[in-house]
Amino acid sequence: MSISSNLPEPVVPQGPWSLFLDIDGTLLEHAAHPDAVAVSEELRMLLARLETQLDGALAFITGRSIAAVDHLFQPLRLRAAGLYGLEHRLVRDGPVEAAGEPADIAALAEEIEAELASADVYIERKGPILAIHTRAAPHLLQRAIQLVEQALDRLPVGYRVLAGNAGVELMPLEAAKGAAIRRFMEQPAFAGRSPVFLGDDTSDEHGFDVINEMDGVSVRIKPRGPTAARHALAGVEEALAWLDGVSHSAAERSTVTT
């Protein structure tokens, strides 16, 4: 992994390219509760404009469910991989391949809620993924990690624990952002394009690895320590400014061409 403080700002690839976007910490500032965020009309317009400029080759790659993404960005229903790739919408405004909550994960969620939910910790149940958010109670992060790691011994084989900057998630092994990116790159709108991926957290590192394998542009937002990303932007504000600049440049090139 590279040391993030030395990473250059990204430059879009020459020729056709595609764009993959994490949401929380990349397009929106983190909040103590996932619902305590708001999407501005300017951001909706920017995303819609970029999607048009890229001929549809834009997708969210997020740990949120696609239903939650649609609620945030309504009326936009862009291509998306939700729950780290356990859900997909491969076509704008198209159907969602959804994932349900297994009984053993539901039981575990109830156990953890009984211990932690009253301590400024938010337990998010996302089908087969269980997320424990400790941003409002950082002193409980290690306890949350301990609880889900202990649960691995009694769950079916095929789960892993992913600790982040302000929480921990228990998820199936097949839930990986890189795998979601690979699937999109096989779709007609993305095929033959150089991929660009913006993300900000541990869960995005697998995506960066895949982007690097494809000779694309991997971008870590507000990096802290080592990362597989080859480029960096200082924070959400800088990421939005970069995307806006990219969009305006594309519009100017289109005007010159026509």
Q: pLDDT tens digits, residue range 127-151?
A: 999 999 998 888 999 999 999 999 9
Q: Which domains are present in the chain?
A: 14-98+175-257 (3.40.50.1000), 103-172 (3.90.1070)
Q: Is 85 helix (H, G, I), strand (E, B) or coil?
A: helix
Q: Compute the average pLDDT of residues 60-81.
A: 96
Q: Compute the average pLDDT of residues 164-192.
A: 93
Given a cut of 60, whether residue 257 has pLDDT beyond it is no
Q: Compute the average pLDDT of residues 84-101.
A: 92
Contact present, 20 and 78 (Cβ < 8 Å): no
Given a cut of 60, whether residue 1 has pLDDT beyond it is no
Collect contacts of 148-152 with beta carbons under 8 A, ≥24 apart. 148/108, 148/112, 151/108
Contact present, 218 and 208 (Cβ < 8 Å): yes
Q: Phi and psi for 136 in degrees, rounded to 5?
A: -85, -5
Phi-psi region of 4 (alpha: psi -120 to 50; beta: other; left: phi over 0): alpha
Q: What is the pLDDT of residue 209?
A: 97
Active site residues: 22
Share of the chain above pLDDT 90, in %: 72
Given a cut of 90, whether residue 98 has pLDDT beyond it is no
Q: What is the pLDDT of residue 208?
A: 98
- Which residue in the block uniquely carries the two structure tokens 């211990």? 115
- Among the listed ranges 3-12, 41-50, 118-127, 136-145, which one has the minimum average pLDDT value? 3-12
Choice between 166 and 236, residue whose per-residue pLDDT is larger: 236
Q: What is the pLDDT of residue 165?
A: 78
